[in-house]
Structure 1
């Protein structure tokens, strides 16, 4: 995948978690979605954007592409998905919507974002490396034959690794202030209403210690029960 698309792709990467739902829909619907999303490719391919947006021009381009993509997905959801499927899609892309709502429509946030453009240029390759690793781990988890609990645990560890990767490289090459800001962006981008609440109970140290697998699974299962209970009350 071209690095032009990684900024948008990482925003919706957890959307793949509900891909099984989409595969069962009418092929005409899927064809219409794919055709519509090609317009996003046209917008990005006709620019020199590479990796994370590093200027006001880059931000404007990415926002235009993302809004086209969201319009495609919204139209697809209205015409082709059930109410339950619509909620699943919404849960998986909520982080992307929040991030781009701030970046594209909140002038104060956009001004804060553009304060660190020098850092974005320095970490551009590292951002791509962190993103590539994250996407690889997510695909690996989604394509595995493991139980759903284990898949969620793997997704949490992938997200924690992604955030740690982004923070560490930003801190080393730019500074703590930049690292904290960029990590917050990465955290919001990869936010998912189904997975993120569970991930808050799993730390990177748990992911790195195989002796804590049973403890991790207890936390995952307990978190699932809490979320289900809260949705019922």
Structure 2
């Protein structure tokens, strides 16, 4: 099985998690855990052919990578700065479209294709980060927060990706119960790692900003491991114990700040944001 040579972009969230495989080696069930839709057979017929050379997958993947790098190129595995978020989104969208276009044009003429689960994970990220105007508006307030926590965030993500890529490279069946278990453990551990780094008191993140950046981390982790980890996962059996945050850590997340960075008192609306989003994040941990 070949691994696509897409480079890391921005926080390393690219189609490096989408794999090329032989059709007769890969089977999948139709009961997806989230309603993220790709093209159906009927809708595929309505899409104009891109005239892709379906005989050279490697060249196609490299071209997509090079094109994405001209949009946004980063060697660091960390969240994009707010003024670069649109470029990051454009690069992720381009890679996602590349994978979708290949599957539409070439699936019937070659045994090589992109895993649907990874494409859906990327679509999930695009919808919940890049197409969410509310989230984008809040993300614009994070430059100092991202800057001060970037190194710790990168360490968390590097460990997470190492485990995820290792598990995905050992099997074609990412939803097999053993692989699923380890992927879910890694995802939960990553979220705890980023949360701890945001609440360690060292960085320059207000509580509101920490919640927004943690929401980014949760969405990105769902993009890399697009599986239902709420069902039949016994986290206490994870390799390093239960990776989910304890009550003390969660209480720090949902407790509103008394002041903003500039020292002004938060409005009632902003005070509610950490509580509401904190609950949403907790529900996804």
**TM-score above 0.5:** yes
Match of 2:228 in 1: 197
| Rg larger for | 2
CA contact (8 A) 1:29 1:80 kept: no
Distance 1:112 1:195, change over 3 A: closer
How many corresponding residue pairs? 201
Asked whether 1:188 is paired with 2:214, we answer no
Q: Distance in 1 between matches of 2:75 and 2:196?
A: 27
Deviations 1:77-107 (A, max 9, x none): 111225xx99983432323323223433333
State the secondary structure of the residue aligned to 2:127: helix
Distance 1:49 1:111, change over 3 A: farther
Distance 1:4 1:143, change over 3 A: closer
Give structure 1 stretches of 5+ with no counterpart. Answer: 211-233
Distance 1:117 1:38, change over 3 A: same
Asked whether 1:5 is paired with 2:9, we answer yes
Q: Which aligned runs of 4 or more in structure 1 are off by greater than 6 angstroms?
A: 47-50, 85-88
Higher helix residue share: 1
1:113 alignment partner, one of 129, 136, 139 = 139
Q: TM-score, normalised by structure 2?
A: 0.58
Deviations 1:107-158 (A, max 9, x none): 322101112222111111112111110111112223447x942222111111
Q: Distance in 2 between matches of 1:160 and 1:53?
A: 22
Distance 1:187 1:27, change over 3 A: farther
Match of 2:18 in 1: 15
CA contact (8 A) 1:160 1:203 kept: no
Q: Distance in 1 between matches of 2:151 and 2:138?
A: 22
Match of 1:43 in 2: 71
Distance 1:23 1:136, change over 3 A: farther
Q: Distance in 2 between matches of 1:205 and 1:178?
A: 30
